[in-house]
Amino acid sequence: MKYHKLVENAGRPQGFWGKMMIKAMNKGHSELTDWALAHIKINRSDTALDVGCGGGKTVSKLCTKIGNGKVFGIDYSQLCVDNSKKLNKNNIICGKASILQASVSSLPFDSNKFDVVTAVETYYFWQDKLNDLKEIYRVMKPGGRLLLVFEMVKSDDEPHKWDSIEKKLGIEAVSRDGIKDILLHAGYQNIRTYTKSENGWLCATAEKEQV
């Protein structure tokens, strides 16, 4: 019962089990996030955005890497926003971080704002993935960098590994070729993918065209 209640709150955490899911995500995704962040360039003066910031752990990691820049986090779950604000309280107070309730489909930011955009284990839940990637592209600066991070990855060795979660949540695991293809169609360039075979992890990096 506990497992099912947690899984049901993966997309949009709410209530008690949502709080438990946020704690589990912050802990469970930490190593995955560290591995993926090593594959993208982050400068001390960058302005960054974490899409689907969940409990705020990735925002905190980005704040550590960014010196005099700023990190924004967005999530469409108010519970996630509240928890992310709590975790990043000191970064928010000093003006280094800002957490907002918003959807990836309609980002509340001007065009050409961000040097770096990250999305950790949230892509599965986007309603219109192609247009959502185009919306992210809009808010990225020319030459800006995108990082997508996945644990639910289709594998020839374990083709049914994620079947139960896919069915329960109405989502689909990703494939490396599928991610590369949709990023290309969304207008990105310099698309690269990286895998960690022992974990089955995947991350993809891509860039917005330079002017």
Would you say residue 185 has pLDDT above 80? yes
Question: pLDDT tens across 137-169, in order?
Answer: 999 999 999 999 999 999 888 888 889 888 888
Domains, the chain, with CATH or none: 30-207 (3.40.50.150)
Question: Are the C-beta atoms of 200 and 151 separated by less than 8 Å?
Answer: yes
Would you say residue 126 has pLDDT above 80? yes
Helix (H, G, I), strand (E, B) or coil at 184: helix
What are 157's two structure tokens? Answer: 């060795």
Give, in order, the Cα–Cα distances in Å from 3 to each of 17, 20, 85.
10, 10, 26
Give CB contacts under 8 A, 24+ apart, made by 125-128: 125/10, 125/11, 125/12, 125/52, 125/169, 125/171
Task: Return the axis-axis angle of helices 129-139 and 176-185, rounded to nearest 10°.
Answer: 60
d(CA 118, CA 137) in angstroms, rounded, equals: 12
Displacement of CA 59 from its chain's centroid (Å): 10
H/E segment holding residue 79: helix 78-87
pLDDT class for 19, splitting at 50, 70, 90?
Answer: very low
Q: Of 8-17, 36-45, 194-203, which gets the smallest average pLDDT?
A: 8-17
pLDDT class for 3, splitting at 50, 70, 90?
Answer: very low
pLDDT class for 24, splitting at 50, 70, 90?
Answer: low
